[in-house]
Amino acid sequence: MTLLPVFDVTEASFPVEVVEASRETPILVDFWASGCEPCRTLGPLLERLATESNGAFRVARVDTEQELRLAAMFQVQSIPFVVAFVAGQPVDVVAGALDEAKVKAFLGRIGIELPAAPKDEPVPLTTLDTASERIRGRELAAIDEIRESLEAIEEEDDNHGSAVRLLEAWEWFEGEPPGDGEAVALAREARQLWVAGNERGAMETLLASVRADRGWHEELARRASVALMQLHADQTEFVDALRKRLAIELY
């Protein structure tokens, strides 16, 4: 017969369903009441942990408004109130509001080890992920190899558009942007800042290059700005603000 992880118990059923049953499986006796706010949190928590424990322990629920004698027997003065029964004996008590960490610590005190949570399988990196990481890592010696990996991403691939945005800025990533003038000087300065690890400074300077001459070299500064915002999208607040400023410059 499958035993329920959580069950209600009365004074009459207590000797068999708790005392005797605890000789086989540890049982937490949860004294609760309908008007007890912390009980409404603890009850579902105990139920979840008992269910996830794969039979390591069970929970017996005692309604203190109905089972006055049983509550008095254990001198319950405040609730929630939890008594741990192991091998037919009460071995530990805990009272008051309990979060998951405290419940697990209590279980550990009475020798109950919960199964480890299953680890999420790592999500395989896509070609775009790998290339982006290498660009962010400034692997400039492998710049041609990285470009080839991006060019190999096919149009049907969901990452094709992102790869194209990086490739459109490749001339800026590769080295000295061509030409002269203020926009060119700013674009070169931006690349130096980026190589030195100053992503925000690089993006700000590229925006200044766009402002100086939007059309320079088929809008290379704009394309480089878009590529850097994609690469460093984890800097959410800064990138969102910069994207709005770039839109103002363009439109």
Active-site residues, by number, are 36, 39
Those residues with Cβ within 8 angstroms of residue 195's Cβ, 6 or more apart along the chain or in another chain:
138, 140
Rg of the Cα atoms in the chain: 32
Nearest partner of 29 among 44, 38, 19, judged by Cα:
19
Which strand (E) or helix (H) includes residue 58? strand 58-63
Distance between CA atoms of residues 37 and 44, nearest Å: 12
Q: Is 82 left (phi over 0), alpha (psi -120 to 50) or beta?
A: beta
Strand partners, 90: 85
Strand partners, 81: 31, 95
Distance between CA atoms of residues 27 and 21, nearest Å: 8
The tokens describing 240, both together, are 């969102």
Nearest partner of 218 among 181, 169, 185, judged by Cα:
169
Q: What is the edge-to-edge ordering of all strands in the sheet holding 27-32? A: 6-8, 58-63, 27-32, 81-86, 89-95
The tokens describing 164, both together, are 């194209």
